[in-house]
Every structure is written in structure tokens, then in C-alpha cells.
Chains A and B, each alone.
Chain A
Amino acid sequence: MWKKLANYLDLVYSYFGFNLKAKLEYRGAFICQVTAMFVNDCIWLAYFVMVFDHYPVVPGWTSADVATLWAVTAAGFGIAHCLFGNTLELARIIAMGGLDVWLLYPRALLPHLVLGKMSASSLGDALFGYAVYILFLRPDWQHLLLFTVLTISVAVLFLGFSVLSGSLSFYLGNSETLSESWRNALIAFSTYPLDLFDGKVRLLLFTVIPAAFVSGYPVEALRKMSLVDAWYSLLGASLVLAVSIVVFHHGLRRYESGNMVAMRG
């Protein structure tokens, strides 16, 4: 098992290198996208800090908590889609019959397919998350270590969720818009404190839109240095990833080739 994991991590590293080189072919555009996303996140954070400072939205929440929330969410999302950028296009790939070319490889389909592309702007998200946490919150090494683990946990959740939402195309045909809206709903809920929501909505945030494992437990874990909350985060993220793998492979049985001629360089 460890050998397989090491082999896969090696593949992830190689793909990251290839994808980065491909992006750097258009160096200006790449730098522009990364910088723009970084600036975009800074604008959002400045706005949220101002609102939470002026209005008592959640009692006990300070600007540091808001920054932690944004840092965890942005870094997790960024890592997920910087390494596994193809998940953002999964719905379209399935609907267009684009899996054919991936099915020809001797590698397992899903873990290989998700590596196929890098989202340049996501690199800006990841850099923003770490920059804010290190420069704005000035953590000790225990907090930084926990932050790193939790951003990986959030990245796993985003990876699983993107696969899950993209897999809708197996069942509904071209569900690109629906998939994107569902993912946007997760991002929207993940940028607000979980304490704002109660009742049935809270139930939704643990299931259909699992923002509790992005903005809920990870932020609480960092606020209170709570390993229990960190475990809940990891558990939730692993569960979402497991469900997405099952749904993808169930859906794959319904996949029909589009006879599309494609070539990968």
C-alpha cells in the first residue's frame, strides 16, 4: 500500500511539473492569473474583516478568526485545483465523451484523470491562504503544522466534492452548469462561519453541501488547537472523497464513448 501511495505521489509531482511547464509557456498570462486571484482574495478578506469588525455578526469572532477561515478555505481550494485541476472540467469531459483518451492508459482512471490539468488561479488561492496565515496570524509551529494538515484535509474534501459534482454528467447528461452551481454553493457557504446557520440548513452543511468540514471544524480546530475537531475534519473530508469515488465508478458503467478523436501531448 505504501509503495502504491509513493508511486502515486511521484505521479502527482511529475504531473504538477508538466502542468506548470505548460502554463509557463504563456508566462505573462499565468503570472497575471495567479496575481489576480491573490489580489481578489485580499479584497474579499479586507471586506469581510471590515464587516466583522463593524457589525456583531458572530459574537466572539475577531478579524483573526475571519482571516483563519479565509486562509483555510482558500488554501484548501487552491491546493485541490492546482494539483487536480481537471476536476473542475469533469462534467464537461464526461458529457463530451472525453474519457475515451484517459481509458486507454494502463493507470487507474480517476486518480490519473484528475491530474490532467492545473488551474492557474488556484495557485493564487493557495499562496494567499498560506501568506495570510503566516503573515497576518503569525502562528507558532504547532498552529502552522495543524494548519498545513487541515488545508490538505480541505483540499481532499474539495477534490472529492468536485469529482462528485462532476459525476452528475453520467446521470443527467451535460450538467456543467448544475455542477458548477453546486460547487459555488459549497464555496459560498464555506466563506462564512458555521455558527451563522442552524436547524435544517446546518444538516445540509454536513451532507449535501459539506461546508462544515471546510469552514466549521478546521477553523474551530485552529481557534482552540483542538485535535478532536481536526479529526472530524479529516473524517468528513475522507468520507466525501470515498463517496465521490463510489459515485464516479458507478456512473462510469453508464458512460458511452463519443467516438471523439483526441490526442494528449
Chain B
Amino acid sequence: MSFLRKYAALAWISARSNFAYAGEVGGRLMFLSVILFIFMCVWKAAFANAGQDRFAGYSLDEIIWYLALTECIMMSSPRVTALIDEDVRTGAIAVQLVRPLSYPLYRLASNFGEQTVKFASTALVAVAIAWVLGGPPSNFGTGAMMVLIALPMAFVLDFLGYMLIGLGAFWLEDTTGLMLIYSRLTMIAGGMLMPLDLFPEPVQAILNALPFGYIVCGPARLLVHPDWVSLVSLLWHQLFWVVVMGTAVALVYRLALNRIALNGG
């Protein structure tokens, strides 16, 4: 129990420190409003010009609610890559390694706290905007509950992807480029801009075989189309990818540790 308690304390500290940055929250929410408004205009035009009231089972209102949630997930995405990069470059990782903590678990706990606060603050505004633009959703209660069940594992999976890129700092001069490409893949292949069901079928088959959709599209789809079978399927897929990515992180971390050379001082 004490093993878990220290990581829970780390998550709480990280969450509290994120409450302090009101300016950053304001900026994020302003950008969220702009983006949701643009998305609404795009899809409104697409529905009107096509003369249809549904695309692949999604109405305009459902797409707006879907996009509100995907934006919240992406905007609360972790900065863990930059932090690991900094730890490696400045040598601060040496200090982290002497603590009675596992470095990856320390980063996971800290990230979880930060991401939870960011998600909650963004979601409050996103719900308000989506309510104004898309009207009240049907089955909101059930959908929201399923989202809350699916999100923790989505956050862990998201973290593992960024952690893997961050560990690249042990070999590369700079990981910002890799992070940029990875985050774009999460946005597009994960379904941030539109549900994966709206992609052409051959593309859908490829995207469903990747982990990104289980971070972004899976939870957001449950908000507008809540369904217990889909929830269970999503959780299984998330678990599978957490095991795969977790193993990859553990292996790469072990290799990275072998590259550290410390001098006293």
C-alpha cells in the first residue's frame, strides 16, 4: 500500500501545482473555443452541402460533442517528453535516480495528476460550448460515465507513447521533432478531428490496428454512442496496448540506464 501511496501523493502534488497557472488555463480555453467553433463551421457546411443529416451514423450535434471531448483529451495531453528531455540534457536525472522511486512510475504519477486537472478544467468549458453549439446530448449521463471509465487507461496509454519518445533523449540530440510527429499522429490517426468511422474504409482498417484510436476516438465515441459492448471492447484494446507499450518502455528504459555515466560532485 505504501508503494502506491507515494505515487498517489506525487499525482496530487502535480494536480495542485497545475491549479496555480490560471493564465495558461485561460489561453487553453480561448483556443478551445476557437477550434470548436471552426470545427462546427466545417461540419455544418459539409452536412448542408451534402444534404444529409448523418455521416456514418453521426449527426451534426453528435459530431460537435465528439469533437469537444477529443479536444479535451488532446489539450490535456502530457508534456512528459520535454521533461524527460530536460532531465537527460541537464543531468537532473541523476538526482531522480537516487530517490526511492521508479523514474517511469514517478513520471506516470506526476503526469496523471497534471492531465486530470487539465482535462477537468478544459471539459467544464468544452461541455458549455458544446451545449451552446450542439444542444443537449442524448444519453449524456450514461455516455459521461462510460467516458470516465475509459479515460484512465487512455491517459496511461497516451503517457506511455510520450515516455517512449522522451527516452529517445538518451540517444538523440533533440526529441522535439519526434514528439511533434507523434502528437500529429495521435491527433489525426487517433480521431481528434473526426471520428475514425468517417474515414474511408481502407484507412479505417489501418487506423484501428494502431493504438491512437483507443486514446482519443474510443472514449469520445462512447460519449455520443454509449454502448456497454463497445466499452468492454475498448477497455480490452486499451489493456492490450498498455501491456505492449509498457513492455517497450521498460525495455528501452533499461537500455537507457546503461548509457548513463555519473561523476561525483
Contact = CB atoms under 8 A, between A and B. Distances in A.
Interface residues of B, number: 35
B206 interface: no
B27 A57 contact: no
A35 to B, nearest CB: 6
A47 interface: yes
Given A26-B173, A44-B184, A57 B31 contact: no
Interface of A: 26, 28-29, 32-33, 35-37, 39-40, 43-44, 47, 50-51, 54-59, 121, 174, 176-178, 180-181, 184-185, 188-189, 192, 196-197, 201
B24 A55 contact: no
B50 A29 contact: no
Contact of B30 (A43, A181, A197): A181
Contacts of A47: 188, 193
A58 B42 CA distance: 9
Going nearest first, the 5 A-B pairs with the smallest beta carbon separation are A36-B177, A29-B174, A177-B27, A56-B49, A28-B173
Contacts of B178: 32, 36
Given A29-B173, A185-B34, A188-B35, A57 B23 contact: no
B49 A57 contact: yes
Contacts of B181: 36, 39-40, 43
Given A33-B177, A181-B31, A192-B38, 5 more contacts: A32-B173, A35-B177, A36-B177, A37-B180, A181-B27
Contact of A55 (B34, B50, B176, B203): B50
B254 to A, nearest CB: 24
28 contacts: A26-B173, A28-B173, A36-B176, A36-B178, A40-B181, A43-B184, A44-B184, A44-B188, A51-B194, A56-B45, A58-B45, A176-B23, A177-B24, A177-B26, A178-B26, A178-B27, A178-B30, A181-B26, A181-B27, A181-B28, A185-B30, A188-B34, A188-B38, A189-B38, A192-B41, A196-B42, A196-B45, A197-B41
